[in-house]
Chain A
Amino acid sequence: MKAICFYFQIHQPFRLKRYRFFDIGNDHYYYDDFANDDILTRIVQRSYIPAAESLLRMIQDSNGKFRCAISITGTALEQCEQYAPEFIDILKKLADTGKVEFLAETYAHSLASLADPEEFAQQVKIHDEKLHEMFGVKPKVLRNTELIYCDEMAPQILEMGYKGVITEGAKHILGWKSPNYVYSAASAPKLKLLLKNSKLSDDIAFRFSNTEWDAYPLTADKYMDWIASTPQEEQIVNLFMNLETFGELQSRETGIFQFLEALPRFAAERGIEFVTPSEAISKLKPVGELSIMYPISWADEARDTSAWLGNRLQNEAFQKLYSVAERVRLCDDRRLKQDYWYLQASDHFFYMSTKHMADGAVHSHFSPYETPFQAFTNYMNVLADFIVRVEEQYPLSIENEELNSLLTTIRNQAREIETLNKEVVSMRLNIEHINEEHRLREAQAPKSEPAAKKPRTRKAKAEPATEAEKPAPKKKAAKK
């Protein structure tokens, strides 16, 4: 039995406004609200809503036989909440069908996994919390930003509680192997890997409307034939793509929505099933271990991380950004933390890519900047201001470790003060109780003096104790 595992990505970054160097230290708002609103609203209308409605119809029409996974970043969720809440409603409906699995990923679509494991774990956790709060789901499978994955990450991901990871079926990793199986991670065999079938995914995402392609026009019938004609023993075809494929990359006029909606019918004719990633992982046994030494991704021909960290500009910005990671984690300032997430979006680094500058086929289609140099300048100016703000919280002259120990001391003392305060309160309550009891007894039985003696001594004992403790917390509070 063959199965198709669909996963759709939804991501939007918070694009930065034009931020001049003379704004550094003066202006702490970094985002281009107009562009963000404009782009998000356009994509939601043209792509996300019609695509999500198609998925909903497909699930209903097939009586739940069709199923898929969606991964939506925290920043995209935030923007949808702000500019297109109607899309959130549709996502909720999808979640309620129980046939759509939501995947875990970093909140801000960040590259933290390549720089700072702790930051990575924290962001994934925050993203999980956000998903739970909005859709009441708990992700079991992780999708890292741009499907970035390597051996080094596997043990951490497993430890974070995920059973599987979605990544690219990169040719240079697989060699003769087929992506149409479940594999397990070499560095953590309990973690399972689902690999994207690049050819079949890109047939939809990039080639669908290309009239020069020899398979044009692509029909659902023909497409399912291709899948059915893969070798018998291959169990699963992983089709991973951006949700924008439907309506944005391939416009509505190309018939992409009709193609999508026709898939379940033709799949059923050939006895092909649909599964979600976690179903695939629990149903299918891994056929072998896969070792991936260097990070892979689903971008460009090279399928590596060079689209974000390929040149000097990108690396410089990246290092500067993560040089303050620990410090920001020590902060309590919510706005600062939020800005830090937004600045980590991989998109900012993508805009700085000089890879295709020479042949003119710039990544510019997706970039709000004219050149990578402009992207770098703008980003670094924003980052400079951000670092100034971090420094205002904690001066850079203090070492991270020292700062950490100071903060721990402060926190411990705060905790101590709290417990002591609680004690004081309960003591006070005790005293009041005793006093009242005493008064009542005196009023009721003024003659029974021996009985009243006991509480009085207790009171005498209790009082010096509370008085002795009171000044102590004050001293500690002063230290703080």
Chain B
Amino acid sequence: MFGWEFPPHILGGLGTASYGLTKGMWECGDMDITFVIPKPFGDEEKGFANIIGASQVPVAWRDVSRDYVESRIGKLMDPDMYFRLRDHIYADFNYMRTNDLGCIEFSGRYPDNLLEEINNYSIMAGVVARTLDFDIIHSHDWLTYPAGIHAKQVTGKPLVIHVHATDFDRSRGNVNPTVFNIERDGMTHADHIITVSNLTRQTVIEKYGIDPAKVTTVHNAVEPLSPELLAVEVSKPKEKVVTFLGRITMQKGPEYFVEAAAKVLKNHHNVRFVMAGSGDMMDKMITLAAERGIADRFHFPGFQKGKQVYEMLKASDVYVMPSVSEPFGISPLEAMQMGVPSIISKQSGCAEILSNVIKTDYWDIDAMADAIYSIISYPAMHKQLKEDGLAEVNRITWDKAGAKVIDIYRNVLKNY
């Protein structure tokens, strides 16, 4: 498997989903999974998958001793693995910027030279593919498609790509042609495509012109929360709290949340709105809240990480995700795990599998305001959504998703 992010060092939903799925597949048994990520930190969970860091894969020959390797990257990779990989270098990449071990350094983030990093990752993938013995290649998201294609060409093994998002979701239609090409290239080379929702599946079929027969939806799931997170304590304000949590970008539809808030505040004063997160539309949103005259009840606490997210959720009475286009959207599931009733846009993938949530069109601020009002004013509504939502989300587990993926593998291998 090729991935870009892996917990605990994650930047978005991609890492969480890759991790959950891998673990879910492992739970189904009889699987040997190697997971390649750009830059491991050493604190990743390794029990269920063999993790290889791209930053530790040599692409140029260096005459180094075992002890040296041990001391340099011992906590990230078994030195034996290093030497095995070194035996499979397939071309001279000394012209590239490599380090003392002949490895390319990866940031593992989304730097400005992202395209270069994607290319380097694909070069590295050639070495990995030649070294290891495996049956199938699985690439998570467009950043790793080129690596997947490369590995397929080298080994002749089938390629499955996992579409966590497309550029149509990220850009509301103003697609970056380079990204589009990488994505399309991956899709045409793939033997099967897994999408995280039917919404994404449609995008893949319609916008990228892919044969529907080779696109299957496997909905994401959630990891159960640790008891420690479930038990976080927060002091709740005496008002009701309605929360938006996520990147404040065009894709997430923050302006609809502000407009709905303005509608609710017109009739109901005992409520506060929180827009937690950061992003390129934040300043615009602060201005908008001020223009609507609700700034005293509308708060921007900034980017939340780790435990803060759960504290934020714990303090909330309603969680709103008005995304304009959301391939899946894991955050409402997390909110439900914390017992917070959620309102989600019909344009998000998770709407396809959730029934104990309120679904509105992202642009229908009247309906959204109405739903917010209903949850904060009618205790029965809150309780019903909270309890049934919790029961529902607890049934959405990764092993079920993992089993579906394994089925897809079987079919691909049978027909290959």
In the bound complex, CA of A142 to CA of B383 (Å)? 37
Structural contact, A374 and B358, CB atoms closer than 8 A:
yes
**A20 on the interface (CB 8 Å rule)?**
yes
**B416 on the interface (CB 8 Å rule)?**
no
User: Of A313, A354, A357, which is in contact with the most chain B CB atoms at under 10 Å from its CB?
Assistant: A313
Residues on B with beta carbons closer than 8 Å to the beta carbon of A317: 380
Residues on B with beta carbons closer than 8 Å to the beta carbon of A21: 264, 267-268, 369-370, 373-374, 377
Q: List 22 A-B contacts (CB under 8 A).
A: A20-B366, A20-B370, A21-B268, A21-B370, A22-B263, A22-B266, A311-B384, A312-B384, A313-B380, A313-B381, A316-B378, A316-B380, A316-B381, A317-B380, A354-B388, A358-B355, A358-B392, A370-B359, A371-B355, A371-B358, A371-B359, A377-B381
In the bound complex, CA of A380 to CA of B373 (Å)? 11
Residues on A with beta carbons closer than 8 Å to the beta carbon of B380: 312-313, 315-317, 376
In the bound complex, CA of A169 to CA of B78 (Å)? 73
Residues on A with beta carbons closer than 8 Å to the beta carbon of B359: 370-371
**A126 on the interface (CB 8 Å rule)?**
no
In the bound complex, CA of A81 to CA of B179 (Å)? 64
Residue of B nearest to A378 (CB): B370
**A113 on the interface (CB 8 Å rule)?**
no
In the bound complex, CA of A317 to CA of B379 (Å)? 11
The minimal Cβ–Cβ distance linking B4 to chain A, given in whole angstroms, is 35
The minimal Cβ–Cβ distance linking A391 to chain B, given in whole angstroms, is 16
The minimal Cβ–Cβ distance linking B389 to chain A, given in whole angstroms, is 11
A313 touches which of B266, B384, B392 (Cβ 8 Å): B384
A22 touches which of B267, B356, B358, B384 (Cβ 8 Å): B267
What are the interface flags for A10-39 relative to B under an 8 Å C-beta threshold, 1 for contact and 0 otherwise? 000000000011101000000000000000
Identify the B interface with A (CB < 8 A).
263-264, 266-268, 355-356, 358-359, 366, 369-371, 373-374, 377-381, 383-385, 387-388, 392
In the bound complex, CA of A354 to CA of B380 (Å)? 13
In the bound complex, CA of A71 to CA of B198 (Å)? 47
In the bound complex, CA of A313 to CA of B387 (Å)? 12
**A381 on the interface (CB 8 Å rule)?**
yes
Could you tell me the dominant secondary structure of chain B's interface residues? helix
Residues on B with beta carbons closer than 8 Å to the beta carbon of A316: 378-381
Chain A contact patch, size range: 20 to 34
In the bound complex, CA of A316 to CA of B374 (Å)? 13
**A206 on the interface (CB 8 Å rule)?**
no
In the bound complex, CA of A57 to CA of B392 (Å)? 53
In the bound complex, CA of A276 to CA of B221 (Å)? 58
Structural contact, A24 and B267, CB atoms closer than 8 A:
yes
Structural contact, B385 and A373, CB atoms closer than 8 A:
yes
A312 touches which of B366, B369, B383 (Cβ 8 Å): B383
In the bound complex, CA of A381 to CA of B377 (Å)? 10
The minimal Cβ–Cβ distance linking B319 to chain A, given in whole angstroms, is 14
Structural contact, B384 and A354, CB atoms closer than 8 A:
yes
Residues on A with beta carbons closer than 8 Å to the beta carbon of B383: 312
What are the interface flags for A345-378 relative to B under an 8 Å C-beta threshold, 1 for contact and 0 otherwise? 0000000001001100000000000110110110
Given the contacts A371-B359, A373-B358, A380 and B378 also touching, CB distance less than 8 Å: yes
Residues on B with beta carbons closer than 8 Å to the beta carbon of A384: 377
Structural contact, A20 and B355, CB atoms closer than 8 A:
no
8 Å CB interface, A20-78 against B: 20-22, 24
The minimal Cβ–Cβ distance linking A124 to chain B, given in whole angstroms, is 29
B370 touches which of A312, A358, A371, A377 (Cβ 8 Å): A377
In the bound complex, CA of A358 to CA of B355 (Å)? 7
In the bound complex, CA of A381 to CA of B263 (Å)? 15
Residue of B nearest to A384 (CB): B377
Sample of 14 more A-B contacts, CB < 8 Å, known A22-B263, A376-B378, A380-B374:
A20-B366, A312-B380, A312-B383, A312-B387, A315-B380, A316-B378, A316-B379, A371-B358, A373-B384, A373-B385, A377-B370, A377-B371, A377-B374, A380-B378
In the bound complex, CA of A384 to CA of B359 (Å)? 23
What are the interface flags for A371-412 relative to B under an 8 Å C-beta threshold, 1 for contact and 0 otherwise? 101101100110010000000000000000000000000000
In the bound complex, CA of A370 to CA of B360 (Å)? 10
Residue of B nearest to A24 (CB): B267
Residues on A with beta carbons closer than 8 Å to the beta carbon of B369: 20-22
The minimal Cβ–Cβ distance linking A367 to chain B, given in whole angstroms, is 14
Residue of A nearest to B341 (CB): A373
In the bound complex, CA of A327 to CA of B102 (Å)? 85
Q: Would you list the 4 A-B pairs with minimal beta carbon distance, nearest first? A: A316-B380, A377-B374, A21-B373, A312-B384
